[in-house]
Structure 1
Amino acid sequence: MVKVSIMGATGVIGKNVAFTLARADTVDEIVLFARPESVEKAKGESFDMYDALAAEDIDCKLTPTSDFQDLKNSSIVLITAGTPREKGMNRRDLALPNAKIVDNYAKEIAANAPDAIILVATNPVDVMTTVALKASGFDKRRVIGIGNHLDSLRLKAYFSRQININSSEVHTRVIGEHGDHMVPLLSSTSIGGIPLKYFIKDVDLDVERLITRLKNAGNTIISKKGATEYGPAFAISNLISTMITDSHKVLTVSTYLEGEVGDVHNVSLGVPVVLSKKGIAMVVPIHMNDFELYEFKQAAGIVKETTDEVLELLDND
């Protein structure tokens, strides 16, 4: 039996992940965890989802609750709860208030679902990944942030649309911070098996404009519709499905580094890993050119500074 719990299930991302996972028909039970004052809303979401799932003959149990004991036997617990980012805010503006939530929830997961994988989506996700790791006491292979998976998908889509080629032919990746200091790995990007540096000689491709658009993607969507929704939900569902099905895909997530990439230590950042039903099976070694390595280390320094400040404030709270 595969059971996935979503903490923050009445939020925009949480409910969309729940419905996307249920429709995939690979999960037996989804726990819609909400604060006590939001449980009735969680029940309403479950009733609405059941109606939709009936049209596709999908039998997935949905459990609305505010009881931490209902997390028991979860394979994966997703933390999406927190203060949402609003127009003009960067992810680091959310660090301390969201850290208190993630810290508490990670401790409850450790107490009630000690064998689960924790997947963190709360922003700033790299900082929150370390907060969840420290609070839970879990092995770092079982505490994962959504990292740059969505950023990588966005860049892949931008290249695909810009040159009118099927997205399956685009192989690219973004690492580093899920935020302003993300690092697109252009040196190892290829299109149709052709390295990008050779491909762009023959096509009209404004790479710098695409990267600027990528870094502003979240704020652009928030300014126009109030929140990011479908992209994050499908990216998160993709990560969960990869682990549930033990697919061993290489995806870019946030993990606590101890020198595996770029000689960076004691901070969580987005890097490519092999995902399995046990969490992170391995961190994938990658090549960066000098500029990319410099940017990656810059991101590490900035994220670590914020993380250390948050952890100190949590200790003193």
Structure 2
Amino acid sequence: MVSHSRVSIVGAGAVGASLAYALMFKNICSEILIVDVSPDIVKAQVLDLADAASVSHTRIRGATPEEAGQTDIIVITAGAKQKDGEPRTKLIQRNFWVLKNVIGSMQPIRQDAVILMVSNPVDILTHIARKLSGLPANQVIGSGTYLDTTRLCVHLGEIFDVNPSSINAYVLGEHGDSQMIAWDAATIGGQRLTSFPEYQAIDKKAVSKIVSGKAMEIIRLKGATFYGIGACAADLVHTIILNKKVVHPVSVYVEKYGVTLSMPAKIGWEGIQHVYDVPLSKEEEERLQSSADALREIEQLY
């Protein structure tokens, strides 16, 4: 095992458990700590995951919030779910109090810890976590549009008949209604997507709707999404632990826009090492600015 390898997961629901499961099989953590307000849920998840640990070398156990605050990486999946017909502002208010209690119970948090926020609305909660924790902006990251970008690349892979890993394309801005696709900067093998014959036939609005609406389709069919975000969060933890310096679109404070939203960022031990400015068309820049403005209006309340 390497240094920077003790990870705590705050929130032992389906997302937290999926993350722990995915992380165990990477065999990079010396220890995974599970924290939740329900002792029974923690016990059940640890017992179940411990069975899977027979083919992994990762120790997994329940822990207190204070112990979680002393780990290298703190992943927060805890949060209230949106009720039918509930305004987004009310959900944010409820999750503000959840997050305030979570971060307050972990004090004092290690000054070199990295917080990875997974709970939604992730951009707003990443902003709040940064303020409540007192940690530098580079050490507080949200999963942001990483999953949206994965969904985009998978869909484009089908259109262009190429492995999704060979596609360089990003969903930027809010992880939500105002997110946008950076079409102008997308490439395959260094060749701009806009130069391919297949690009001309793409219904960009339809693709955007498919990508942003996939979560609701999954929720409609089975009630919740957890495998995709669990895998993405595990990959971000992997990137931090091994100081991989891989670029992913994650939610972070971006000085240019004065707000927390998703931009491609190089990630390593200390969290965000560099935020990249994506070349956008005038229309795309306006859409990203609109996304930033919408988020700022809410973030200013907190």
TM-score of the superposed pair, with normalisation by structure 2: 0.93
Query: How far has the Cα of 1:164 moved from its partner?
Result: 2.8
Structure 1's 74 and 271: CA in aligned 2 closer, same or farther, altered over 3 A?
Answer: same
Count of residues in Structure 1 that have an aligned counterpart in Structure 2: 299
Instruction: Say if 2:213 is the partner of 1:216.
Output: yes
Query: How far has the Cα of 1:296 moved from its partner?
Result: 0.8
> In 2, Cα distance between the equivalents of 1:162 and 1:39?
47
Residues 110 and 137, structure 1, Cα contact 8 Å, conserved in 2 = no
Q: Decide which of 22, 25, 44 is 1:23's aligned counterpart.
A: 25
Q: Secondary structure at the match of 2:61?
A: strand
Structure 1's 72 and 123: CA in aligned 2 closer, same or farther, altered over 3 A?
Answer: closer
Query: Where do 1:76-115 residues align within 5 Å?
Result: 76-85=73-82, 94-115=91-112
For each residue in 1:202-224, what CA deviation from the matched residue of structure 2 results, as whole angstroms up to 9, or x when unmatched? Answer: 78543332111112121111111
Q: Decide which of 104, 115, 118 is 1:118's aligned counterpart.
A: 115
Residues 7 and 32, structure 1, Cα contact 8 Å, conserved in 2 = yes
Q: Secondary structure at the match of 1:215?
A: helix
Q: Which residue does 2:59 correspond to in 1?
A: 61
Residues 86 and 226, structure 1, Cα contact 8 Å, conserved in 2 = no
TM-score of the superposed pair, with normalisation by structure 1: 0.89
Larger mean CA deviation between 137-146 and 215-224 belongs to 215-224
Amino acid at match of 1:198: S
Query: How far has the Cα of 1:201 moved from its partner?
Result: 4.6
Residues 87 and 226, structure 1, Cα contact 8 Å, conserved in 2 = no
Amino acid at match of 1:48: D
Q: Decide which of 113, 123, 129 is 1:132's aligned counterpart.
A: 129
Residues 8 and 68, structure 2, Cα contact 8 Å, conserved in 1 = yes
Query: How far has the Cα of 1:149 moved from its partner?
Result: 0.7
Amino acid at match of 2:49: M
Q: Secondary structure at the match of 1:111?
A: coil
Residues 127 and 260, structure 2, Cα contact 8 Å, conserved in 1 = yes
Q: Decide which of 173, 178, 185 is 1:188's aligned counterpart.
A: 185
> In 2, Cα distance between the equivalents of 1:278 and 1:162?
37
Structure 1's 105 and 173: CA in aligned 2 closer, same or farther, altered over 3 A?
Answer: same
Larger mean CA deviation between 290-299 and 199-208 belongs to 199-208
Instruction: Say if 2:293 is the partner of 1:273.
Output: no
Q: Secondary structure at the match of 2:300?
A: helix
> In 2, Cα distance between the equivalents of 1:210 and 1:87?
26
> In 1, Cα distance between the equivalents of 2:186 and 2:87?
27
Larger mean CA deviation between 81-90 and 238-247 belongs to 81-90
Residues 13 and 232, structure 1, Cα contact 8 Å, conserved in 2 = yes
Residues 144 and 174, structure 2, Cα contact 8 Å, conserved in 1 = yes
Query: How far has the Cα of 1:87 moved from its partner?
Result: 6.4
> In 1, Cα distance between the equivalents of 2:109 and 2:7?
13
Q: Which residue does 1:315 correspond to in 2?
A: none
Instruction: Say if 2:11 is the partner of 1:14.
Output: no
Structure 1's 93 and 165: CA in aligned 2 closer, same or farther, altered over 3 A?
Answer: farther
Structure 1's 17 and 195: CA in aligned 2 closer, same or farther, altered over 3 A?
Answer: same
Percent identical across equivalent pairs?
29
> In 2, Cα distance between the equivalents of 1:213 and 1:147?
17
For each residue in 1:153-185, what CA deviation from the matched residue of structure 2 results, as whole angstroms up to 9, or x when unmatched? Answer: 110001112333211221101110000111111
Query: Where do 1:134-149 residues align within 5 Å?
Result: 134-149=131-146
Larger mean CA deviation between 146-155 and 41-50 belongs to 41-50
What residue ranges of structure 1 are gaps of 5+ in the alignment?
A: 312-317
Query: Where do 1:191-206 residues align within 5 Å?
Result: 191-201=188-198, 204-206=201-203
Amino acid at match of 2:250: V
Query: How far has the Cα of 1:107 moved from its partner?
Result: 3.3
Query: How far has the Cα of 1:92 moved from its partner?
Result: 5.1
> In 2, Cα distance between the equivalents of 1:83 and 1:126?
15
Residues 194 and 200, structure 2, Cα contact 8 Å, conserved in 1 = no
Larger mean CA deviation between 105-114 and 274-283 belongs to 105-114
> In 2, Cα distance between the equivalents of 1:49 and 1:146?
23
Structure 1's 298 and 169: CA in aligned 2 closer, same or farther, altered over 3 A?
Answer: same
Structure 1's 132 and 202: CA in aligned 2 closer, same or farther, altered over 3 A?
Answer: closer
For each residue in 1:214-264, what CA deviation from the matched residue of structure 2 results, as whole angstroms up to 9, or x when unmatched? Answer: 1212111111111111111111111111011100001111111222xxxx1
> In 1, Cα distance between the equivalents of 2:298 and 2:69?
32
For each residue in 1:106-139, what CA deviation from the matched residue of structure 2 results, as whole angstroms up to 9, or x when unmatched? Answer: 3344414333111111111110011001111111
Structure 1's 139 and 249: CA in aligned 2 closer, same or farther, altered over 3 A?
Answer: same
Q: Which residue does 2:248 correspond to in 1?
A: 251
